Amino acid sequence: MIEVEVKYKISCDEIEVLEKKLEKLGFKLVKSGVEKDTYFNSPFRDFRKSDEALRVRESDECYLTYKGKKIDKKTKTREELNVRIENAEVVKKILLKLGFYPVKEVIKFRKIYEKNNIFVCLDKVNGIGCFVEVEMDVENKENVGEATKKIESLIADLGIKGESITESYLEMLLKKFRSGL
């Protein structure tokens, strides 16, 4: 599975406006709640340099996710392997035993809207503010272009302006943490 994704910084006041626009466009709210993500780094390959990510997500359901390096600079397109797990605590303990170590926790309140397999996440992320992420999952590289076009068209329909961000929430939080803000 390849994840095609764009992300924009928005003001938190815009969230309500975007929700109304999404509903007008026929999007449905499919999920709403807190997600607590714990990111791990590897003992023998620095994931910050290799641009990989290993994450345990705790929400209503729990997931283990691996993300490969980005294969497109403009969008955040990358390979993603995602599996539901029964118990996040046990998986975190196993990762620690295997030598992986936790880097940072990312906690956000997320609302997810969906239409025709396009997912729009409205995120309020602890410590760094509000963002909108638009995402499609495609089977192989040949479908990346088409998905990117659909996403760009929706971004225009929603009236979102400015440059898309390729930095992850984790990277933003680490940068903030290091600069001591």
Which residues in this chain contact a second copy in the complex, by CB under 8 A?
Answer: 42-45, 52, 54, 64, 66, 68, 81-87, 90-91, 93-94, 97-100
Smallest distance, Å, CB 16 to a second copy?
A: 35
Q: Does residue 18 come out as left (phi exceeding 0), alpha (psi in the -120 to 50 range) or beta?
A: alpha
Residue 67 or 111 with smaller CB distance to a second copy: 67
Residue 30: how many CA atoms within 13 Å on its side-chain side? 12
Is 39 catalytic? The answer is: yes
Residue 17 or 98 with smaller CB distance to a second copy: 98
Per-position b or e across 154-169, b if 16+ CB within 10 A of its CB: bbeebebeeebbbebb
Smallest distance, Å, CB 151 to a second copy?
A: 25
Residue 87 or 153 with smaller CB distance to a second copy: 87
- Count of C-beta atoms within a 10 Å radius of residue 24: 9
Active site residues: 39
